[in-house]
Structure 1
């Protein structure tokens, strides 16, 4: 019954893009593409994933795709297909570099939990005790309405660390908001990420301020889009937590991450900037205009070769499939990896648990694919049959998840925007679940 329960942890909506994927093992040898790099036995153990990855690359939807899966502390299986760019000559493997964007958020979330464990913060501590500029926030009466006195009211409660971790603070996001509030964020330099050097319109516009301190100070002048603690609304809150960590720890945010998480986990390829000598490992990023992939960030001229305006805790990291698996492996080990204690078990349990405030509106929460989830430290938390699931996704099609109950970890690396243009992120966990169920039932 275990394998049935694991599969039920995901929606039973079409597990694959077609019924052929259900019998991927038999069909794999006839595919037009095959794994450019894979650990021995990976394709046999994960036939559905192999078909899934080959399908998107073979159809020309993406230049490359890498899937990495593992159980507990066991060595990971990796299936890598394609080239680092369309028309390029370089293949991909577990050490190829990808822009993971919002998969940065669970790492920042765990860093915040470490500060809580160190006694530097508490979960329900008001943000204003650390950053006083957030003491008297105003809230828009009409969501995304005008920024005028008649459309503003005082916040009913203080923003807390819990709110920031779970996107219930009421803060906005320049990639989510519309109208005057979105324009105000861009004009103030509250642009928490980088995508391209090209002058593209829309969500890619604007230039970020040059420090986390200035980011926090200007953010405090913006009205909230919801009353704190009442609604799940994707936001810049994890970026703001980078500044919180700096203030309470006395270290720069990127140094804190390196000292407490990235270094101890052995994540040697996870950085906010790609070193010149590593640009040959970096993939190209594409914007999909219909069926046409338009290059917006190429390895030799990537914006990630420059020092970022500040370390973006919500969307700033570049990583590899192997590196992100080490993060997930540490979580699956309840803070342990390769016999070394990186994080305490209580800290991992807190980070991967449902931290939604009890003030959340009864009709709200985080929903995806017809399912409702809880939210932990920067990532979704499975409820009901999905109990144990934790992780998040990236704006360029990436995914990183771990089922704490089963010890099943899985991440997917590819590069295309917007991520909703292809069904990659919705379907990848389902494909993994089906293959995993078959293994458990064998």
Structure 2
């Protein structure tokens, strides 16, 4: 089953950019008590409205779990608000070691893996893609993004690594493209991840391409939606960077992630395939229909227990709150965590900055008026991205804050959690400041 397809008709700027709510109130957070303690613990007593929001969804069984994590600087553990259970039918409580399908939160990881190779001089930010993958040398561009595949014009410039990192290459996406191009993506098995072993009514199964190399070759045979470096359009480009990493590094994509990011960061619970011995930690993922959740990927029988046909750097990872917090902490440490070097400070700073080509028009897009870095949104001192099953993760370099939202349901717009979370957080900030002044 293709990844994120269940959410495709509900994708919006808001659904993927909700993590901006995690920093609502800006610098006001830095003086508040929720994260300055030395040891991680549940801080719901200080964040009553956020905790009540989590409880509303969990106690009413609209969701099995809803948990927020906050961490400051290089403090080793994140604090939590909320919680719940791994499943609506299982009593085990979620915690920092529970496993979640992070989908597009995989993108910043793949983006930073690309930045490692750029910082080492093995890849160029503005290097043409065809120098690494020759099949992308002479690309065609659709005259109408939703039109016939044979109505094309030549690309007026080559795709570059910068364009792949920032969704400005002109490539399509199975969950975004429409008409003949989307049909061609499905027929070629150009999926970006997985959802379920269970057939879902109304969604046609797609057979993934047999491996990342074949996936990339098939992608090169299809036309682009837009001329390169003209428009921001969510795309398969981060998945394609997985193949670029393989060719440049000489390592299989996931092996590179493990050796260069997961192991040095101490991320012991992040995989494309969850080991069977760890299935007991995997949350259930739910589809929401008419406000009612039904399990589309039970943890004990998840499709993520199978090896993926295509290791998807744009949406294929499962991770834990503790692991992803370590990735975010490494970014806040500008490439170093617990004294271990992972990547250069320059690579982090550049990767988290706005890398959009100057010629790109973002009007009407999800990032209008904002920037995009190596696989994630970049705005001011903030960098991060969200996933189709409700997860969010980001860092704020100015505040020294790392934060994430953990839950599992699709489509992410089925509930107004983003708006409710922002309102709850603002109320708690106001109450905390009032209490501080009264003390």
Contact 1:160 1:169 in 2 (8 A): yes
Q: Tell me how far apart the structure 1 counterparts of residues 190 and 314 of structure 2 sit (CA, whole Å).
A: 12
Contact 2:130 2:137 in 1 (8 A): yes
- Which residue number in structure 1 is paired with residue 149 of structure 2? 147
- Which residue number in structure 2 is paired with residue 417 of structure 1? 410
2:343 alignment partner, SS class = coil
- Which residue number in structure 1 is paired with residue 176 of structure 2? 176
- Select 2:371's aligned residue among 370, 374, 378: 374
Q: Tell me how far apart the structure 2 counterparts of residues 391 and 425 of structure 1 sit (CA, whole Å).
A: 15
Q: Tell me how far apart the structure 2 counterparts of residues 172 and 204 of structure 1 sit (CA, whole Å).
A: 19
CA positional deviation for 1:53? 1.8
CA positional deviation for 1:413? 1.1
Larger CA deviation: 431-440 vs 107-116: 431-440
Q: Tell me how far apart the structure 2 counterparts of residues 422 and 304 of structure 1 sit (CA, whole Å).
A: 25
Q: Measured at CA, do residues 362 and 351 of structure 1 come closer, stay the same or move farther in structure 2, by a change above 3 Å?
A: closer
- Which residue number in structure 2 is paired with residue 340 of structure 1? 340
- Which residue number in structure 1 is paired with residue 160 of structure 2? 160
Contact 2:231 2:362 in 1 (8 A): no
- Which residue number in structure 1 is paired with residue 51 of structure 2? 50
RMSD: 2.3
Q: Tell me how far apart the structure 2 counterparts of residues 147 and 397 of structure 1 sit (CA, whole Å).
A: 34
- Which residue number in structure 1 is paired with residue 207 of structure 2? 207
Contact 2:145 2:178 in 1 (8 A): no
Over residues 315-344 of structure 1, what are the superposed CA-to-partner deviations in whole Å (9 max), with x where a residue is unaligned?
A: 010011111111111111111222322221
2:384 alignment partner, SS class = strand
Q: Tell me how far apart the structure 2 counterparts of residues 205 and 351 of structure 1 sit (CA, whole Å).
A: 35
Q: Tell me how far apart the structure 1 counterparts of residues 163 and 203 of structure 2 sit (CA, whole Å).
A: 24
5+ residue gaps, structure 2: 1-22, 28-33
2:403 alignment partner, SS class = strand
Contact 1:194 1:303 in 2 (8 A): yes
2:259 alignment partner, SS class = helix
Larger CA deviation: 293-302 vs 345-354: 293-302
Over residues 254-301 of structure 1, what are the superposed CA-to-partner deviations in whole Å (9 max), with x where a residue is unaligned?
A: 011001111111110011111111111001111111111121111221
Q: Tell me how far apart the structure 1 counterparts of residues 423 and 133 of structure 2 sit (CA, whole Å).
A: 41
Q: Tell me how far apart the structure 2 counterparts of residues 232 and 270 of structure 1 sit (CA, whole Å).
A: 29
- Which residue number in structure 1 is paired with residue 81 of structure 2? 79
Contact 1:137 1:154 in 2 (8 A): yes
1:159 alignment partner, SS class = coil
Q: Tell me how far apart the structure 2 counterparts of residues 362 and 192 of structure 1 sit (CA, whole Å).
A: 23
Over residues 408-433 of structure 1, what are the superposed CA-to-partner deviations in whole Å (9 max), with x where a residue is unaligned?
A: 11111111001121223455467557
Contact 1:285 1:298 in 2 (8 A): yes
- Which residue number in structure 1 is paired with residue 398 of structure 2? 405
CA positional deviation for 1:310? 2.4
- Which residue number in structure 2 is paired with residue 115 of structure 1? 117
- Which residue number in structure 2 is paired with residue 192 of structure 1? 192
Q: Tell me how far apart the structure 2 counterparts of residues 399 and 166 of structure 1 sit (CA, whole Å).
A: 18
- Which residue number in structure 2 is paired with residue 40 of structure 1? 41
Q: Tell me how far apart the structure 1 counterparts of residues 425 and 57 of structure 2 sit (CA, whole Å).
A: 15
- Which residue number in structure 1 is paired with residue 302 of structure 2? 302
TM-score (norm 1): 0.86
CA positional deviation for 1:434? 6.6
5 Å matches for 1:269-280?
269-280=269-280
2:61 alignment partner, SS class = coil
- Which residue number in structure 1 is paired with residue 67 of structure 2? 66
